[in-house]
Structure 1
Amino acid sequence: MFGDLMGMMGKLKETQEKVKLTKKRLETVTLQESTPDDTLRIVISASREIREIHIEDSLLQDKEQLTDYLVITLNRALEKAGEIHDAELAAVAKEGMPNIPGLDALM
């Protein structure tokens, strides 16, 4: 019994390290979201950090449209980044789960 427990503890520590490395790697993964007319482009990391915002000069003339575009485009970018982030971490966490009979049926 204690051998299994020690093995599980080792696997848990290994999984924690993989999660940490995955989070670090996600900081380097970037994606871009833009408006349909490409007057606004957002570059964001998979760790949900805004890296760049590109605004065409023509969009600067219309504050209301710029505000609307920023809200919509930032929300879409954050949603996509969150999906990538969560999927990557879930895969690492599932890989590190101990093999407990019947556990797959609950997930």
Structure 2
Amino acid sequence: MFGDMMNMMGKLKETQKKVEETKKRLDTVLVDEQSNDGKVKVTLTANRTIKSIEIDDTLLEDKEQLEDYLIITLNKAIEKATNVNETELAAVAKEGMPNIPGMDMFK
């Protein structure tokens, strides 16, 4: 039993290390999004850090319209990045779960 417990602890530590490595890698995964008409384009990492924003000059004339464009486009980009982030981290966590009786709900 003690050996099994040590094995599980080792596997959990290994999984934690893989999760941290995945988080670092997600800083390099870029997600692009743009408004329907292409007037606003944003790029962010899968960890939801904004890397760039491009705005068409025609939007600079109307502050309210620009704000609307930014909100919509950034929210779509954040949703995409969140989906990538959660999928990647869930895959690593699932892969590293030790086989604990009664805990197969994570599989």
TM above 0.5, one fold? yes
- Counterpart residue number, 2:47: 47
Is it true that 1:14 corresponds to 2:10 in the alignment? no
- Secondary structure in structure 1 of the residue aligned to 2:31: strand
Cα RMSD after superposing both structures:
1.0
Partner amino acid for 1:40?
V
Matches within 5 A, 1:1-107: 1-104=1-104, 106-107=105-106
Aligned residues: 106
Question: Residues of 2 paired with 1:61 and 1:20: CA distance?
Answer: 44
Q: State the 4+ residue runs in structure 1 displaced beyond 3 angstroms.
A: none
- Secondary structure in structure 2 of the residue aligned to 1:100: coil
How far has the Cα of 1:59 moved from its partner? 1.0
Q: Which runs of 5+ in 2 are unaligned?
A: none
TM-score, with structure 2 as normaliser: 0.94
Percent sequence identity is 61
How far has the Cα of 1:100 moved from its partner? 2.2
TM-score, with structure 1 as normaliser: 0.94
